[in-house]
């Protein structure tokens, strides 16, 4: 068995390289199952792909899957989005943390394993990748300072909701200004007293040239930021008060344009809860 799986190499690999717990990188993947395939897609993703295509891989140490029922989809904006056409597309999103400094190692494994899964007919074809990108962590802003869960806990802590915000700057230089404004001015003020315990900010990285053909190359590598707002309340209960106008501050600051604000709630693994409420 050792020769077949090359298990002797595992001891060598474990002895070298970074092995902290900081989420230096993320995979954020928003997907739309094709009409009529919602239940089959959900069972494939939860029963096989979440594990074989994600959590079983080296250095991907935390994950959570989220869903937008139809009422949550209808809260999204802007109507004309560079991310989703229509803006309601992409009713499932999965978020995964990857150990800081291990992106290249993880990518070599994930490309190879997905080729193997595809060859073995373990990739569900009747779905569309709406917004899929590996991303590098830039900053996390906490509502409560040093108290409470850290960002490396975020995908295991039982948060009640997630709001995904995508902002595009006009240039790489403007993105740097946008990031500093988010870090030092906008986000600390916005999370104070809100249901959002933390906001993590990521920037996308290009996918490798040997990626699977059904996943399109990442856009906005030099100009885009992705914000994940982790909520202690159902987004429906706090939408108007906290999240219905995220466009305005960015526009007023003159640092970019909001291309997506989308609320989700966590799925219940091993069940088909919410699948009948997607359309």
pLDDT tens-digit profile of 55-97? 999 999 999 999 999 999 999 999 999 999 999 999 999 999 9
**pLDDT at position 219:** 81
Mean pLDDT across 148-157: 97
Model confidence pLDDT, tens digit, residues 92-150: 999 999 999 999 999 999 999 999 999 999 999 999 999 999 999 999 999 999 999 99
1-27 mean pLDDT: 90
> What's the confidence (pLDDT) of residue 207?
76
pLDDT tens sequence across 89-108: 999 999 999 999 999 999 99
Position 256 confidence tier, pLDDT thresholds 50, 70, 90: very high
Which residues make beta-bridge pairs with 1?
none
Task: Please give the share of the chain, as a percent, with pLDDT higher than 90.
Answer: 92
| Confidence class for position 179, pLDDT limits 50, 70, 90 | very high
Cα 210 from Cα 118, distance rounded (Å): 13
If pLDDT is split at 50, 70 and 90, which confidence band does 218 have?
Answer: confident
pLDDT band at 41 (very low <50, low <70, confident <90, very high): very high
The mean pLDDT value for 230-247 works out to 97
- Report the SS3 class of residue 161: strand
Look at residue 216 in the predicted model and tell me its pLDDT: 65
- Residue closest to 96 by CA, chosen among 124, 129, 58, 125: 58
Give the pLDDT score at 206.
84
What average pLDDT does the segment 181-205 reach? 97
The one-character DSSP state at 156 is: T
Q: How far apart are CA 201 and CA 100, in angstroms?
A: 14
Predicted pLDDT of residue 184: 97
Strands (E), the chain: 23-33, 60-67, 92-99, 127-142, 161-168, 196-204, 224-231, 257-266
Q: Determine the pLDDT at residue 1.
A: 46
C-alpha to C-alpha distance for 46 and 43, rounded to whole angstroms: 5
């Amino acid at each position: 068995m050792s020769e077949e799986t090359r298990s002797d190499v595992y001891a060598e690999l474990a002895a070298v390289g970074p092995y902290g717990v900081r989420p230096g990188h993320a995979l954020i993947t928003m997907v739309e199952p094709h009409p009529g395939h919602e239940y089959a897609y959900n069972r494939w993703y939860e029963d096989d792909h979440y594990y074989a295509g994600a959590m079983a891989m080296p250095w991907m140490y935390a994950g959570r899957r989220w869903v937008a029922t139809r009422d949550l989809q209808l809260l999204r904006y802007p109507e004309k989005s560079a991310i989703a056409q229509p803006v309601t597309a992409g009713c499932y999103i999965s978020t995964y943390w990857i150990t800081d400094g291990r992106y290249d190692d993880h990518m070599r494994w994930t490309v190879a394993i997905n080729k193997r899964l595809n060859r073995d007919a373990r990739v569900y074809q009747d779905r569309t990748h709406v917004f899929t990108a590996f991303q590098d962590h830039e900053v996390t802003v906490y509502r409560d300072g040093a108290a409470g869960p850290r960002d490396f806990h975020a995908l295991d802590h039982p948060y009640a909701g997630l709001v995904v915000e995508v902002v595009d700057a006009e240039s790489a230089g403007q993105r740097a200004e946008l990031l500093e404004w988010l870090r030092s001015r906008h986000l600390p003020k916005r999370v104070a007293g809100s249901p959002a315990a933390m906001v993590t900010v990521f920037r996308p990285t290009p996918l490798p040239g040997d990626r699977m053909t059904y996943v399109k190359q990442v856009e906005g590598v030099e100009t885009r930021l992705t914000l994940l707002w982790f909520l202690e309340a159902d987004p429906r209960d706090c939408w108007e008060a906290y999240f219905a106008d995220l466009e305005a501050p960015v526009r007023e600051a003159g640092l970019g344009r909001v291309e997506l604000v989308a609320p989700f709630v966590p799925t219940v693994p091993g069940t088909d809860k919410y699948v009948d409420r997607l359309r």
